[in-house]
Homo-oligomer: A and B are copies of this chain.
Amino acid sequence: MTDFAWTRDQFHLPEGVIYLDGNSLGPMPKATPARVQQVMEPEWRDQLIGGWVGAGWHLAPERLGDRIAAMIGAEAGHVVVGDTLSIKIYQALAAALALRPDRRVILSDTGNFPSDLYMAQGLAHTLGNGTRLKTVAPEDVAEHITDEVAVLMLTEVDYRTGRRHDMKVLTAKAHEVGAITVWDLAHSFGALPVDLAGCGADFAAGCTYKYINAGPGAPAFIYVAPEHAGRACTALQGWQGHDAPFAFEQDYRPATEVVRMRVGTPPVLQLAALEAALDIWEQVDMNDIRARSIELCERFIAGVEESCPQLRLASPRDAAQRGSQVSFHFEEGYAAMQALIARGVIGDFRAPDIMRFGFTPLYIGPEDVDRAVEILAEIINWDLWDRPEYKVKAIIT
């Protein structure tokens, strides 16, 4: 049984703050500074170039990939860490398309995180062979999975609403028509149990600065299913993904399996922060996290709906169809979120009118939820809201 008092104690949380934005950037684990410091002193300071081997820096992307694999239903040797989520999505997509050279459609949805769509547009343009990105409404994805689709590229949990796709069902449907799947786990990893092998996912990628708490700019990871790993095209053919990076050959030869998805020199300081964050995750049971996350989300929805009738739920009401966040529509959402943040309740705002709150059981408990509801209600029910001069329009550019 996960000890939530212990997990909460692993984090630095500023006094007076209720942090409901860990789905954007997680807070700092107390152990992180010392771990990062260690990479500098003594490792870099004393070992210099020798640190690549002597301090294990060179293999960290694979070592941490194995630890992540164990958390997302993948076997060791099928996940590697590095770069950013956008880059890893690009590689996964390029590899997936190469497996269906006779098809030209990448199917995604309008709820996908824009960077995934942009990367797909860029890849389609570079391919220049008629490959195109087709986006449909999230609820219409299933019916558009036809045999024209080369790749189904989806983010499991919608970044704005928390709406969750059924990875197993959609992957099966994609496979029925011969399509390959690329899953973005940005809002899944650390938010709910993920079972890539169990779902039959072909490729997946995710980031580690949200629920995992590996810090600003923490590296991403990529998963390649065992059946594709030996022949996946890597598109971004960096030397770290070469079969013999230090032989300095003139021609690219991909490394075996997922290691070929490495590109350049890995960010050792960021990897150390990721390592410190993963240490906490190895002490928890993801099923406990999920149960607690649902409890917190339900408590928040009930509280807000009771005390703030002006807010309209933007997330699915059914917990099974939600990630670990809750969003509400509110016309004055931008200004209300600013007021909330000023009172120490940190969520965020997504245009045009979404107030978004992440619930992260590692360090958020029921008492935080109750207090957040109380402060939100005070702000929302503040009678000045109705005066014209307070009608601050939400413009984020």
Binding site for B on A (CB under 8 A): 12, 14, 17, 19, 21, 24-25, 27-28, 32-33, 36-37, 39-41, 44-46, 48-52, 57, 83-87, 90, 94, 110, 113-115, 117-119, 121-123, 125-129, 135, 207, 209, 215-220, 233-240, 242, 244, 246-252, 263-271, 273, 346, 348, 350-351, 396-397
Contact = CB atoms under 8 A, between A and B. Distances in A.
A236 B269 contact: no
Contacts of A252: 117-118, 121-122
A19 B36 CA distance: 24
A245 to B, nearest CB: 8
A118 B239 contact: yes
Contacts of A45: 12, 14, 27-28
A48 B247 contact: no
B263 A273 contact: no
6 cross-chain pairs, A with B, having the tightest CB-CB distances, nearest first: A84-B264, A122-B237, A115-B239, A217-B267, A216-B268, A86-B238
A239 B114 contact: yes
A202 to B, nearest CB: 19
7 contacts: A19-B48, A36-B269, A86-B236, A207-B265, A216-B268, A217-B266, A220-B264
A284 B12 CA distance: 39
A273 B57 CA distance: 17
A265 B57 CA distance: 22
Contacts of A263: 84, 86-87
Contacts of A247: 351, 396-397
A83 B94 contact: no
Given A49-B25, A121-B252, A86 B126 contact: no
A49 B114 contact: no
Given A28-B44, A270-B270, A351-B248, A119 B84 contact: no
Contacts of A220: 264
A46 B215 contact: no
A114 B252 CA distance: 8
Contacts of A234: 122
Given A83-B84, A121-B252, A126-B235, 10 more contacts: A40-B215, A52-B216, A87-B238, A114-B250, A121-B237, A216-B268, A217-B269, A246-B396, A269-B273, A270-B270
